[in-house]
Amino acid sequence: MKFEELGLAETLLRAIGAQGYCSPTGIQAAAIPAILEGRDVLGCAQTGTGKTAAFALPTLQRLGRRECRVNGRGRKVRALVLAPTRELSLQLGDSFRVYGRYTNMRHTVIYGGVGQTPQVRALNAGVDIIVATPGRLLDLMQQGFVDLSRVEVLVLDEADRMLDMGFIHDLRRIVAKVPNQRQTLLFSATMPPAIRSLADQWLRHPVDLRVGPVALATDKVRQSVFFVDQAQKLSLLTHWLDQTAWTRTLVFTRTKHRADKVAKLLRQAGIEADAFHANKSQSARQRTLLRFKSPQPAVLVATDIAARGLDIDMVSHVINYDLPADAESYVHRIGRTGRAGAGGVAISFCDQAERTTLRAIERLTRQTLPVETHPADNSLTLAAGLPRRPAPMVPRPAGSPRGPRWKARRRA
């Protein structure tokens, strides 16, 4: 199937072509026609499946059919897109900019952690589309800067994560200000009962779309586990980074404190590393992401704030320094690699206390993770009482240099 078969306007097809896209993904092929028909949609699809374009393109087309100008102050908000994090909101805003480049639609992104003055200025100038995190949007609504009385399209992206982050009360207050006669699009990576309940309340006879198996890891990601005591994880991580031909590598920790600590100790070991978590200012987080996306990225040590929503290409490895609190978070973490048809590697460090979580992960993903053994020091390998199943370290790609690029740069 081609995008031309979906009924999209020529201006949108030009923007899609400029990005080099020819064929829609599964969620795009299923969602776009339904949204163009004006149907509500309940979509279950993980990140990396192209769901942003699945709702951004038909939303732009719907708004473009009838431009709305009110007074001399510009436009009224006609589409509202809610997302759980600042980073995801910025990425969604960038998608609306890219896909709407040949239209007359205006958008702005509203999020916390930065001053509100530029956001208020954009609202006063008039926008068609707001992309926002719930907290800052509600704050500006209470100050009288946001009018949602003309919203035609309401999008809730990563709805399950917004509930996990405690936004349910903010969401209810926001949705109460949106007209009942609207099109509602709800997208979620998982479909727990709480999401189903919200869908029953906020959506009208929705088209129920599920693309791919829910909450299962991609088969393009090669997964394995090291059994290692907590006190020895840092030694294993530095040894692994020294011996493996990694490129863009994302390391997940359970807590913000540990992310800072691991990043600091890696830098002391001569490995370029940055920490990324919610306690960092928005400007610091943006600088860190830009560095991680650069041609010579540092290792990014992050909490689960980076597990979903971040659009980062060419992540070669994901390392779970700590296993996550739940199995579904593991799926989202390793989904940062193996994107857009590329292969990836996900490695987990598991100590004795994390064995129950590992078993839950293996049940959810329906596979037993191969056990890796440390090639240089078997004392780092298995926690007490676990069987030894020797397996090779992650092999270097053919023709790749020995050791990571950071080591060559340090010698230069």
* Architecture category of domain 3-210 in CATH: 3-Layer(aba) Sandwich (3.40)
Alpha helices by DSSP H, 104-255: 117-125, 134-142, 159-164, 168-175, 193-202, 233-243
Contact (CB, 8 A) for 319 and 237: yes
* Nearest of 137, 183, 147, 182 to residue 31 by alpha carbon: 183
Give the C-alpha separation, 69 to 232, whole Å.
62
pTM above 0.75, yes or no: no
In whole angstroms, what is the distance from residue 56 CA to residue 24 CA?
Answer: 13
CA nearest neighbour of 43 among 155, 188, 171: 188
Query: What 8-state DSSP symbol labels residue 352?
Result: G
Q: What is the pLDDT along the chain (412 residues), one digit of tens a residue?
A: 889 999 999 999 999 999 888 889 889 999 999 999 999 999 987 666 788 999 999 999 999 886 554 433 568 999 999 999 888 899 899 999 999 999 999 999 999 988 999 999 999 999 999 999 999 999 999 999 999 999 999 999 999 889 888 899 999 999 999 999 999 999 988 788 889 999 999 999 999 998 754 445 556 789 999 999 999 999 999 999 988 878 889 999 999 999 999 999 999 999 999 999 878 887 888 889 889 988 888 899 999 877 765 667 788 899 999 999 888 788 888 888 876 556 789 999 999 999 999 998 888 888 899 998 865 444 443 333 333 333 333 334 444 443 444 443 333 3
395: its two tokens: 């092999």
Nearest-10 Cα torsion for 262, 264, 268, 269: 20
Q: What is the pLDDT of residue 347?
A: 94
Residues of the chain with CATH 3.40.50.300: 3-210, 221-411
Alpha-carbon span 124 to 110, nearest angstrom: 13
374: nearest Cα among 359, 389, 361: 389
Return left, alpha or beta for 301; rule: phi > 0 is left, psi -120 to 50 is alpha, else beta.
beta
Which residues have a Cβ under 8 Å from the Cβ of 313 and sit 6 or more positions away? Answer: 293, 339, 340
| Closest alpha carbon to 298 in 306, 308, 288 | 288
- At 54, is the secondary structure helix, strand, or coil? helix
Q: Indicate the CATH number for domain 221-411.
A: 3.40.50.300
Task: Report the alpha-carbon distance of residue 309 to residue 131 in Å, rounded.
Answer: 14
